[in-house]
Structures are given as C-alpha cells and as structure tokens.
A and B are shown apart, each in its own frame.
Chain A
C-alpha cells in the first residue's frame, strides 16, 4: 500500500519536472535554419563533388596530366587536352591545355584519391549539396564548363 501512494507521488512529480522542462524550452530561441531562405556554411572538410580550381588569371590550374583520372578507383573522371602554341620570350612553344573535364558523379565514392594525387592543387571538393534529381544524366558534370560559369559570375 505504501508503494501505491509513493508511486503516485513520484510519478506525479516526474510529470511536473517534464512539464517544467518543456516550459523553459518554450521561451528559448529557435535553433533551426530556415532552409531555402537561410543556409549554413559547410564545414571545411565537407566533401561535395570535386571541382576544378582556377589560377589568378581565371583559367584552370589543371595541366591535364591525367593523374586524377588514373587514380580514381571508380573511373569517374575523363578528360581531354589539346596542344596549343603559345609565345614565351619571343619563341613559340607547345603547351597542353585542358579541353574537357567530365565527372560522372553517379559512381563517385568521394574517396578523395583524385584530390590527393593532383600535384598541382588543381582540384578540390566543392561545397555543393543541393543535388537532387530524378534523372541520372543530371549527375554527369562538365567541370570545365562549371568553372567557366563560376569565373564569369565572379568577374
């Protein structure tokens, strides 16, 4: 019988404690982000799909050596280059220039091998995360074109 009343007492007390907690929470500021209107900054180590980085002149740092393509365990990267003539100190030289850089994000495992293997610091993970689509074609990215658009926007 004593257990009966103490159960009621302690049960009731714990209910009141619960109510007081939610009462206090009610007046605290909200902690959520209003997503489409507000976004949070992605942390430094967040891995989005990879992106090409530009040098100071706005052209890609990539020298089309193809190390990333070879390092990728999932064969997501395919790139092409053309050789163009450029003048350095009055002499004409040949130089390899990146002409195409495609990423097939559908098979990318975000392992980071490509970023690790680039000796020129030409690729890095982007902070892109708004990537929802119903078609897998939407995940074949033309990264060279993407870089061009970003640079145009910056300019």
Chain B
C-alpha cells in the first residue's frame, strides 16, 4: 500500500516537474522562434541565448500579489487555474515515453487522456464565469463552443486509429507500430488509405483543443483584452500558461503515439525515449511555426472548419476504414 502511494507521489512529482520545465522552456523557444520568424533576436539578455529568462519570469510571477477582482466569485476564480493545470498533469501519468518509461499504463489510456483534456474546457468556462468580466465570459463562451466542436473530429480520428490497432492502450498501439516508418499509422496501409488525412485532421484538432493560434479565440487579445484570463495576475495567470504548454506537450505526445509510431525509430534502429522526445519536439516546433505564420481565424470560420470540413471527412474516413477492415 505504502509502496504504491510512494509510486504515485513520485510519478506525480515527475509529471509536474516535466510539465513545469516544458512550460518554462517552451515559452522561451516560442519567443525565440517568433523572433527569428520576425527577423529579430528575441530574449537574449539574461544568460546565454536568454536561457535564464524563463526562471526570471517565473520568479516575477510568483512574487506578485494575487488579486481577486471585486464582485468575482472567489471560489470559482481560485479553482479555475488549478482545474486547468491538474488534468494536464494527470494526462502525463498514462503517456508512455518508451516501452518502460510510463507511470501507469492503462488499457483505456486514450479514453483517459480525452476525458481529462475535456476538463480543460471546464477550467476556461469557470475562469470566465468567475471573473465577472464581460470579456472573460465572451471568451469562455467561444472557447467552450470551440472545444466542443473540435473534440468530435478529434475523437473520430482517434477511433479510426483504435479500430485499426484494436486497442485503447497507448502502449499496445505503439507496439503495433514498431519497426520502421512504414508500420506507422499515418502511412497508407491496407486498412485505411486516408490515414494521412486523418493525421492532418488530428493535428488541426489538437491545435484547436489547446487553444493555440490560429485558433486562440479564447484569448483573442485584439478583441477581448486577454480573453478568459483577463482578470488573472501572478501565479493564477502562470498556471493557465503552464497548463497551455502542458496541453501542447500532451497534444504532441498523443499525435506521436497515435500516428507517428511513438518511441519507435523510423528505420527500426534503437527504439527508445529519445525518438519519442525528438518527435514531440518536432511537432511542437511545428505548433510554434504555425502560430507565428497564420492570423487568428474568426469564430465562424473556426466552427465552419470543424462542422463542414473536419467532421464529414473524418466520418468518411471512419466508414472507409471500417469497410477496408471488413473486406481485407
């Protein structure tokens, strides 16, 4: 009993540390990347290449006073950032980084990650509602409608993968993809020729689910001040920020695990955690690249994209996959 409790604590501490370190240094990577794309140097004063910027930002956020706006719902206001962060941490528990590095492998891993991911929308809703600020409320309305509409195509594509591999266990899904890139779920196999399209749909949905630009309507600065976290300062804001980046890491991990062969090497050599990390950071680099390339969409464009394009195509792919699996 005590041993399992210890295991749990160690796993959660490692997950929190991993999430925090990632959040800190992804902000740095994001700012440097944005700067390069805009042909400026980015943060480069503190430490070599500005590498001391994230800890300094963290200290700044932590030393600030926590303000609760007058008239806000105190409990909801305080709970929301924690509720944003906690599911993100929990999802790390079941993500297998390699065959042996996984805190708790579950045979319903995919389901669990999706269940926790949808709690993120809840946090945004509570943050907007609790702040008693019209911009925050509008932003949370948008964010929730966005999360609802993008969860559907995301789940449908995930179901396609689950059908092909016959398991919801992330480890099993990856073992089925082992041994070279031609085994990966993204590449057209006999089961489903439209799998690359599924991959793109899944990727777009994970952009939208993590509220990343060009789908960051929940914090559209140009129209809604700062969206749902307008009223948050100090570590409340810090937690939302960390949750956003933790969700990005989870989105990239899930995309890697479901489509890109997880910790397997493209050529079947030395499978291990390094390949997994390489793949997720490449995907995250793409996230950053996309953010600094495209302008923010409108809410109509966003919902149209989901309901008119992503959902029909992913449904079609689901049926096609089912047909192929029946025939072959």
Contact = CB atoms under 8 A, between A and B. Distances in A.
Interface of A: 8, 15, 18-19, 21-23, 25-32, 34
A8 B292 CA distance: 22
B39 A22 contact: no
A6 to B, nearest CB: 13
Interface in B73-87: none
A47 B291 CA distance: 40
A9 B178 CA distance: 33
Interface in B7-57: 33, 35-41
Given A21-B293, A31-B40, 7 more contacts: A25-B37, A25-B39, A26-B33, A27-B36, A29-B39, A30-B36, A32-B41
B304 to A, nearest CB: 10
29 contacts: A8-B309, A15-B294, A18-B293, A18-B294, A19-B289, A19-B293, A21-B293, A22-B37, A22-B289, A22-B292, A22-B293, A25-B37, A25-B38, A26-B33, A26-B36, A26-B37, A26-B289, A28-B39, A29-B39, A30-B35, A30-B36, A30-B39, A30-B40, A30-B41, A31-B39, A31-B40, A32-B40, A32-B41, A34-B41
Interface in B290-322: 290, 292-294, 309
Contacts, number: 35
A88 to B, nearest CB: 59
Contacts of A30: 35-36, 39-41
A101 to B, nearest CB: 40
A28 B309 CA distance: 36
A19 B35 CA distance: 15
B39 A19 contact: no
A141 to B, nearest CB: 32
A4 to B, nearest CB: 8
A32 B290 contact: no
Contacts of B37: 22, 25-26
Contacts of B41: 30, 32, 34
Contacts of B35: 30
- The residue in B35, B37, B40, B292 that gathers the most chain A C-beta atoms within 10 A of its C-beta is B37
A59 B294 CA distance: 60
Contacts of B290: 19
Nearest to B294: A18
Contacts of B289: 19, 22-23, 26
A14 to B, nearest CB: 10
B169 to A, nearest CB: 33
- The residue in A19, A26, A34 that gathers the most chain B C-beta atoms within 10 A of its C-beta is A26
A39 to B, nearest CB: 16
Contacts of A28: 39
When A and B form their complex, which 5 residue pairs have the shortest distance between CB atoms, in order from nearest?
A32-B40, A22-B293, A31-B39, A22-B37, A26-B36
Nearest to A28: B39
Contact of B39 (A23, A32, A34): A32
Interface in B256-291: 289-290
